[in-house]
Amino acid sequence: MNLDLVELLACPKFRHPVRLENASEEGGRVTSGRLVCTGCGSSYRVRDGIPRHEQKASDRAEQTARHFTVEFTADAAGDRDIDEAALVEFILHSRTGLDPNALKFGGGDWYPTECPSGYRADWSGFAGKIVLEGGCGPARFLPLVAPHCKRVIGLELGSHVERAANRCRHLDNVDLVQGSVLNPPFRQGAFDLVYSLGVLHHTERPGAGARALGSLVAPGGQISLWVYGLNYWGRGVRRLTGKAIHSALADRDPEDAYRLAKRWLYPLGRLQGRLARRRWTKLAAAPVFAISVPRHPVPEVMMATIFDYFAAPIISTHDDAEVRGWLEDAGLADIESLPVPTSVRATRPK
């Protein structure tokens, strides 16, 4: 980690500043040491260059963290779970609202598989900013954000934070921190821009997480959140089958759930893809589509998406009004719903 990251960090319990002790450095970066709270005396490790703010969590929350570690590492050969850069840019910008060009294309799919024709990313909304991604996963967005901002911090709870750190090791203005979006280990008002995309609905208290992340926004800064909408499970039979499959997989060990999804749901999704190419085959095989299986042209991405969709232990759904209420409770203003369903951004008053 960069030494000056300490200035942004705080004890997650009471938000007191921390000091770095017993630090070891290599190549100008801190590789190990301890972060000690100047208020309560709690201490946290720095290991492999990552501050580790490990906290006790419920069994369900820990199982969810393990789920995502499996999801982000099971089919990670060559990092092929990362889509082409243009599509990732579009997903990021359309959900944060920082690029007016992305907003012109409307809401689109909740998980698009290709970048809209003619889209060119405008990164000016990131220029000169200190940025936090709340729940960065395996660092899908961080390498794209880094060249366009002053610095960017990725916060991630699971042990796959190490994979994210490895992916960003060549970027001097990127730091990774292990911790929870429910108790983020940063001082209040530390960031010009905070975004959290597809994360809060996998926590036990998404509203509390939104308020905690909102407290990290500096005066005049912005926050953007995207969570699953109320139509996540679809309607009718698809809703019933989807929720039934989730119930069957969510209580299993994540590795076991992954094997089951790969054995049964992945082949079903591929079959649906072939049948959907022609209208008459899709109509003739209508019962096959009673289960809504996410599809993607890249096998690793498709498998990860299926596993994410059906097997994450904690999944909640929300509407715009609820998300807007979270941000209002956090003292934010200029709250705006974006074209992508359940994407909301707001500003901290100066």
pTM (2 d.p.): 0.94
**Looking up tokens 């801190």, which residue turns up?**
30
How far does the chain reach from its first CA to its final CA, in angstroms? 30
- Which of 14 and 151 is assigned the larger pLDDT? 151
Residue 67 domain-assigned? Answer: no
State yes or no: pLDDT of 111 exceeds 90.
Answer: no
d(CA 153, CA 291): 38
State yes or no: pLDDT of 81 exceeds 60.
Answer: no
Give Cα 24 distance to the centre of its chain. Answer: 30
Residue 277 domain-assigned? Answer: yes
Q: At 321, is the secondary structure helix, strand, or coil?
A: helix
Q: What is the mean pLDDT of residues 62-88?
A: 78
Number of C-beta neighbours around residue 22 at 10 A:
10
The confidence score (pLDDT) of residue 76 equals 59
Shared-domain flag, residues 194 and 216: yes
Q: 108: pLDDT confidence band, cut at 50, 70 and 90? A: low
Shared-domain flag, residues 101 and 185: yes
Q: 298: pLDDT confidence band, cut at 50, 70 and 90? A: confident
Q: 55: pLDDT confidence band, cut at 50, 70 and 90? A: confident
d(CA 164, CA 186): 19
d(CA 194, CA 339): 19
Shared-domain flag, residues 226 and 242: no
d(CA 281, CA 322): 41
> What is the tens place of the pLDDT at every residue in 184-194?
999 999 999 99
**DSSP, residue by residue, 133-195:** EES-TTTSSHHHHGGGSSEEEEEE-STTHHHHHHHTTT-TTEEEEE--SSS--B-TT-EEEEE
**DSSP, residue by residue, 54-109:** -----HHHHHHHHHHHHHHHTT-GGGTTSPPHHHHHHHHHHHH---HHHHTT-S--
Number of domains in the chain: 3
Q: Under a CB-based contact definition with an 8 Å cutoff, are residues 20 and 32 in contact? A: no
Residue 274 domain-assigned? Answer: yes
The confidence score (pLDDT) of residue 83 equals 64
> What is the tens place of the pLDDT at every residue in 214-248?
999 999 999 999 999 999 999 999 999 999 999 99
Residue 56 domain-assigned? Answer: no
Residue 292 domain-assigned? Answer: yes
The confidence score (pLDDT) of residue 78 equals 45
State yes or no: pLDDT of 262 exceeds 80.
Answer: yes
Shared-domain flag, residues 25 and 108: no
Shared-domain flag, residues 155 and 264: no
Shared-domain flag, residues 94 and 226: yes
Shared-domain flag, residues 282 and 208: no
Shared-domain flag, residues 261 and 170: no
Shared-domain flag, residues 102 and 218: yes
Residue 21 domain-assigned? Answer: yes
Shared-domain flag, residues 327 and 184: yes
Distant-in-sequence, close-in-space partners of 329: CB < 8 Å, separation ≥ 6: 207, 211
Q: At 350, is the secondary structure helix, strand, or coil?
A: coil
Shared-domain flag, residues 97 and 126: yes
Shared-domain flag, residues 128 and 254: no
Residue 293 domain-assigned? Answer: yes
Instruction: Indicate the range of 74-83, 242-251, 319-328 predicted with least confidence.
Output: 74-83
Q: What is the mean pLDDT of residues 270-286?
A: 94
- CATH number for position 203: 3.40.50.150
- CATH number for position 20: 2.20.25
Residue 78 domain-assigned? Answer: no
Question: Residue 18: which domain range?
Answer: 3-49
